[in-house]
């Protein structure tokens, strides 16, 4: 019996195999054109054909995140580059800002790497505010700050421009930003904001299958990494740069992802960056308006994410049952993450999803809730 013959939530056997459309906040829906591009015949990763592909992909990523900084490619998920970012940049002490499960993860990663660090936390659903950042940086204890732009577990989008402005007031404090669930879906002008490391995996805003990640690294972050010890090998920015200068990766990369990225970049530029960012805003507005009708939004007002809406279950419905019923109709959304299970559910509107997909999903949820009431 294949995975698709089983209800993922109840384990019940289905008569027809069912591949649900993904409205979960990663991996998100992948268009057929991308899947097809991944199947291209491989080239050797020391060949000129590879270097051409590498340059095309790196230059495209730079345009999407508005940077002239170097861009590194990682055959790993974003967590690999979250680890790389702190291992390469912290000389003294790191301040990890926490507003949910993934920002907490970055603190755990920092600690697990044996790096001196402290965390500063707000309640789930709240955003990190610039004043809080200012107060901490003023202590002079920190040389690196980590922040998650879009906290996927709570549907909060932190005010990254205002926070970056504060960080830039302090010399020698590096700003590391997890853009895992916002990159390529929300406009973030990396160079204007002075972001030193901006990172993401590709299974969210980029709309690709999982297994690959990208990051930009500023000159000062790169120089810092030249002085920092114990960075290991796989994620040492110095090693990555040596190969990047030859338009190569240090080790064998996931070529299928590079083909997919090239294909996706072409699609993104065909759509137009502004149109892409606007599409995400429109989908988010639609989902928020729908959620406010019968439920509530979990994110603090004014800080709601443009890529994932975390809905507070004020109606008290059985979320597990709703997810299971939706899956039978071939739609997959997510329950609450960790401690928010039962209390919230999440609808992703990122990557290649269109407003028409969202309309279809919302009708299916409405219909399911009516059926559950009957």
Which residues lie near ligand PLP (CB under 6 A)?
26, 77-79, 102, 148, 152, 178, 180-181, 201
Q: Would you give the distance in Å from CA 21 to the centre of its chain?
A: 19
3-class SS of residue 13: strand
Query: Residue 195 Cβ, how far from ligand PLP at the closest point, in Å?
Result: 15
Helix axes 255-271, 48-65, angle to 10 degrees: 40
Instruction: Residue 60: name the closest of 247, 215, 340, 268 by CA.
Output: 268
Query: Residue 210 Cβ, how far from ligand PLP at the closest point, in Å?
Result: 6
Query: Residue 139 Cβ, how far from ligand PLP at the closest point, in Å?
Result: 26
DSSP code string of 262-313: HHHHHHHHHH-HHHHHHHHHHHHHHHHHHHHHHSEESSPTT-B-SSEEEEE-
Torsional sign, CA 154, 277, 249, 253? positive
Q: State which residue, 122 or 364, has the beta carbon closest to ligand PLP.
A: 122
Q: State which residue, 284 or 364, has the beta carbon closest to ligand PLP.
A: 284
Q: State which residue, 89 or 201, has the beta carbon closest to ligand PLP.
A: 201
| Token representation of residue 355 | 């407003």
Q: State which residue, 81 or 326, has the beta carbon closest to ligand PLP.
A: 81
Q: State which residue, 26 or 207, has the beta carbon closest to ligand PLP.
A: 26
Query: Residue 220 Cβ, how far from ligand PLP at the closest point, in Å?
Result: 23
DSSP 341: B
Query: Residue 79 Cβ, how far from ligand PLP at the closest point, in Å?
Result: 3
């Amino acid at each position: 019996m294949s995975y698709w013959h089983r209800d993922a939530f109840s384990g019940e056997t289905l008569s027809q195999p069912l591949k649900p459309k993904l409205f979960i906040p990663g991996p998100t829906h992948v268009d057929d054109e991308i899947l097809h591009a991944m199947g291209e015949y491989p080239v050797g990763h020391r060949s000129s054909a590879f270097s051409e592909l590498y340059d095309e992909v790196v230059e495209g990523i730079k345009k999407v995140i508005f940077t002239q900084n170097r861009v590194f490619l990682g055959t790993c998920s974003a967590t690999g580059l979250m680890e790389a970012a702190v291992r390469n940049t912290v000389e003294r002490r790191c301040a990890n800002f926490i507003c949910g499960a993934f920002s907490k993860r970055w603190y755990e990663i920092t600690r697990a790497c044996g790096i001196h660090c402290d965390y500063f936390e707000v309640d789930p659903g709240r955003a990190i505010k610039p004043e809080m950042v200012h107060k901490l940086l003023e202590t002079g204890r920190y040389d690196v700050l980590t922040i998650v732009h879009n906290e996927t577990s709570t549907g909060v989008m932190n005010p990254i421009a205002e926070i970056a402005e504060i960080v830039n007031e302090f010399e020698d404090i590096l700003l590391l930003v997890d853009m895992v669930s916002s990159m390529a879906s929300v406009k973030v002008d990396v160079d204007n904001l002075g972001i030193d490391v901006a990172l993401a995996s590709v299974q969210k805003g980029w709309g690709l299958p999982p297994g690959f990640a990208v990051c930009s690294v500023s000159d000062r972050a790169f120089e810092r990494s030249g002085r920092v010890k114990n960075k290991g090998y796989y994620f040492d920015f110095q090693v990555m740069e040596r190969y990047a200068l030859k338009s190569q990766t240090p080790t064998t990369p996931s070529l299928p992802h590079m083909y997919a990225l090239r294909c996706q970049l072409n699609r993104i530029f065909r759509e137009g960056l502004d149109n892409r960012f606007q599409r995400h805003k429109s989908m988010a507005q639609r989902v928020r308006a729908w959620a406010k009708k019968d439920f509530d939004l979990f994110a603090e007002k004014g800080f709601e994410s443009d890529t994932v809406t975390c809905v507070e279950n004020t109606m008290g419905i059985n979320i597990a049952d709703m997810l299971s019923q939706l899956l039978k109709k071939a739609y997959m959304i997510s329950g609450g993450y960790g401690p928010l299970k039962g209390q919230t559910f999440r609808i992703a509107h990122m990557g290649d999803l269109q407003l028409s997909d969202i309309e279809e999903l919302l009708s299916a949820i409405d219909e399911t809730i009516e059926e559950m009431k009957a």
